[in-house]
Structure 1
Amino acid sequence: MDFAGKDKATYVKETFNSIAGRYDLMNSLMSLGMDKRWRRLAVQKVGAKPGMHILDVCCGTGQLSMEIGNVVGPEGNVTGLDFSQKMLEVAEKSLRQVSNPAHIRFIQGNAMELPFPDNSFDGATVGWGLRNLPDLRQGLREMARTVKPGGKVVSLDMAKPSLLGFKQAYWLYFDKLVPLMGKVWARKASAYQYLHDSAREFPAQEELARIFTECGLKDVSFNNLAGGVVAIVSGKKP
């Protein structure tokens, strides 16, 4: 993958800063409006309940954080962390439209070195974020470290469909149409070419589940969504 002579972390930060204002619109367009339902399923998978404190890593514009907030309620807390200031600015703007925002906070930080003590959260989520990390395993270990024993770590991300015919049509769509949509709607075709390339290189859901186990999580499973285009992978901290 070409990072234009930059390290991955710098390239990713600059890329997401550049598309922050149109990121939610593009997500909705690319997913045909299914992204909201996928986030709700991820919230269910992490086991969020009223009163819980959940961490949302690589929170971006905060859409998953706010879905979690709807479940944990005012007696709970949600901490969304991202390293892109522009994405967090969009998250804060969206948060001001939430009826009870006091229990949701967004902070800028590094997923490779989460600024929280061990066993701080009842669960942790990451939506479309693991593939952007310079070290996927380190990111997972950090999430597991900050989750209490018995808590879940949940990833919602692109996956790899295997059905013959559908698989080829999907990658053709992602390779040709998504960058074109990025050029038209977000005025940044290169950013959406990166999304295609990063999805190509990201481990398939079966392999990601094995990495979860390798990082010390147990009872690991994955659930395919939209024919395996997207998958939720989850594991529990012993």
Structure 2
Amino acid sequence: MKKNIQLHAFFFFLLLFGFCVNLSVNAQEIKGIVHELESSQRLRDVVVKNLRTNETTQTDAEGNFMISGNINDLLTFTQSGYEVDTTFIYQEGIQRIYLIRDSKSIVIDEVIISRLTDSRLAYEIERAKSEGQVTEASQTRGGLRVSLSRLFGRQSKMARKNLDLLLEEQNNRKVDRLFSEQAIRAIVPLTDTEMALFREQFRPSLEFIETASPEDIRAYVLDSYGKFKSGK
């Protein structure tokens, strides 16, 4: 009887040891470096998430990251101004990730427009207006004339394209100041996840915000909340 107990204990120890060894083999740290595709510049503060474990981390100043994971895990990489990338981990070693700039974002002196201060944003708008002008003063006939170089020049065309995005960012900020999370939560109960979806789905127009009274905004939020909860 005693011998049987010892034998069972021995096999249990072997089983437990094998399980622990298996865990140590499978568990590992995934390491990598995140770059920008076009410039190969290393990107800091990129949010890295393991979709299996929901663990998150961020890249350091040199673009390096380390996160717990296994082979066959899926990682997502999120950074403002860049398209979200998903990478399948199929081998060991340093993972090199290359992010592509979001086509809807522009960069002013290496700063994404969403991070510009309001005063800097206003300055860039005026500069884009100036660089994108297609008319110039005529020194021979007086008045204004269309400048072909400004109309078709690369810098001028880029300035006019950037101006649209800069004005859109400025308008969005005006809306967000009144359609803020704090203002919405004072009227209706929403979780953090619901809040992001609600603000994206029911963001009011600038024209409405500029003319609406506090009572109008409250009524708009309540009406939108009803539609949001009913799935309409």
TM-score when scaled to structure 2?
0.24
Q: Which has the higher relative contact order, 1 or 2, with Cα contacts under 8 A spaced 6 or more apart? A: 1
Rg comparison, structure with higher value: 2
TM-score when scaled to structure 1?
0.24
